[in-house]
Amino acid sequence: MRMVELIEKKKLGSELSKEEISWMIEQYSQKEIPDYQMSAFLMSVYFQGMTDEEVNGLTFAMAHSGDVIDLSGIEGIKVDKHSTGGVGDTTTLVLAPLVASVGVPVAKMSGRGLGHTGGTIDKFEAIKGFDVEMSEEKFIQSVNDIGVAVVGQSANLAPADKLLYALRDVTATVDSMPLIASSIMSKKIASGADAIVLDVTTGEGAFMKDVEDAKKLAHIMVRLGNLAKRKTVAVISDMSQPLGEAIGNSLEILEALDVLKGGGPDDLREMVLVLGSQMLILAGKTTSTEVSRQLLEEAIASGKALEKFREMVENQGGDSSFIESPELLMTANYQFELPAKTSGVVTKLVADKIGVAAMLLGAGRKTKEDSIDFGVGLILHKKVGDIVEVGESLVTIYSNSENIEEVKNLLYENIKIGDKAVEPPLIHAVITD
């Protein structure tokens, strides 16, 4: 086989065989295919798309390009949850202990931030001592002992995807549906879960700006999961405005803590209940979303979920004293308010731009080499549909620098105040096939 022939084929819109795709992924992983040829191939995929068979072949080849984790040492049905990306998405921090607290094992491998805000693993690292690196044995042992562990992805999980993602990032080929679907599902399949709940986001803060595209992507991923014998469900959720009120690593830990204590923002709590219910159903714990919700709400009300969170933090070496003393995590040197310049109703909070504002403060990475400043970030006081009076604070900015003009301007530009707002629905659809 010759790579140039495969590029030619894709360029003209013909279908590649499973053998051709796995050969290409293998050769690329071994650096036998140069980046310039793979770049041309990716761009052809961007324009020509891929058939179901091709996406499945690509997913399988990338999933098997490195370690495939064996979780059979953990009893019960292991359900994973994955979001296609958002701003201020605090759900995993709540879901992991919550779902574990009702007796469903959670063995979660998470990533660091890909875009402008920190990933789940970065957020957990805001807790002093919290260790996200553990051996596969300790990981399995932890889930068997206390029902939950959250760790960083092992370096050798779908390494072909890592190489391809880095190349896509610099060749303007990230936003291709077959490439996104295969990238995400290859990692999910390699992580060893029996079932997968996908949170496919849509809106300005998501890859899929349009709901119909998000549904299409969800269908592709659900099909890929089911073909790999992992029961998969996708929830299409809104990410036109950030989820919850906190954006930033420590701030999101505290927001998760609020939800586990029975409070927290309504949209975050609702998201957690919707995704958690699907996880319980896939795990075979219940057969209905109503019963699932009830179980989850009880676990929060009784304090069981919060206790599981404490157990999880301590099991991973973290200092849990912030649970009683949240101010321990408030480490930013400065707090600034952002007063509204006019009265009216909030019509828009442009999620991705607000994510960039948090990144500029240091809550996310500009480049892979950057380190994260855990204490900084934003607390949104107004969401779409809320009424504001001139002078009222829209946002509290937590910063370690006094020089925040750029951040303030960016926030003003992306928090729109008008006469009338259309509140976006939080959940657009649930896709099961």
Single-letter code of the amino acid located at 344: G
Task: Choose between 311 and 352: whose C-beta lies nearer to Ca ion.
Answer: 352
One-letter identity of residue 361: L
Helix (H) or strand (E) holding 378: strand 377-380
Select from 34-42, 174-182, 189-197, 212-220 the region that touches ligand URA (CB under 6 A).
174-182
Q: How far apart are CA 78 and CA 192, in angstroms?
A: 8
Binding site for Ca ion (CB under 5 A): 88, 90, 244, 246
Residue of 10, 78, 112, 168 with catalytic role? 168
Chain centroid to CA 68: how far?
21
- Confirm if 143 and 101 have CB atoms less than 8 A apart: no
CB of 368 to ligand URA, least distance (A): 14
- CA-based torsion, 135, 222, 76, 108: positive or negative: positive
Q: Which stretch binds ligand URA (CB under 6 A): 5-13, 172-180, 211-219, 278-286?
A: 172-180
Residue 82 among the catalytic residues: yes
Question: Does 101 interact with ligand URA (rule: CB under 6 A)?
Answer: no
The 3-state DSSP class for residue 259 equals: helix
Distance CA 345, CA 340 (A): 11
- Residue of closest CB approach to ligand URA: 183
Rounded to whole angstroms, how far apart are CA atoms 21 and 43?
15
- Is residue 180 a contact residue for ligand URA (CB under 6 A)? yes
80 catalytic? Reply is no
Q: 116 an active-site residue?
A: no
Between 179 and 275, whose beta carbon lies closer to ligand URA?
179
Beta-carbon contacts of 424 under 8 Å, excluding residues fewer than 6 positions away, are: 203, 238, 240, 241, 384
Q: CA-to-CA distance for 335 and 291, rounded, in angstroms?
A: 42
Quick check: 84 binds ligand URA (CB under 6 A)? yes
Query: Which of 32-40, 142-150, 177-185, 395-403 is the region at the interface with ligand URA (rule: CB under 6 A)?
Result: 177-185
What is the helix (H) or strand (E) element at residue 188, kind and residue range?
helix 177-190
64 noted as active-site residue: no
Note if 123 is an active site residue: no
Judged by beta carbon distances under 5 to 8 A according to partner kind, the member of ligand URA, Ca ion, none in contact with residue 88 is Ca ion
Nearer residue to ligand URA within complex by CB, 167 or 184: 184
Q: Which residues are designated catalytic?
A: 82, 161, 168, 183, 187
Residues making contact with ligand URA (CB under 6 A): 84-85, 114, 165, 174, 179-180, 183-184, 207
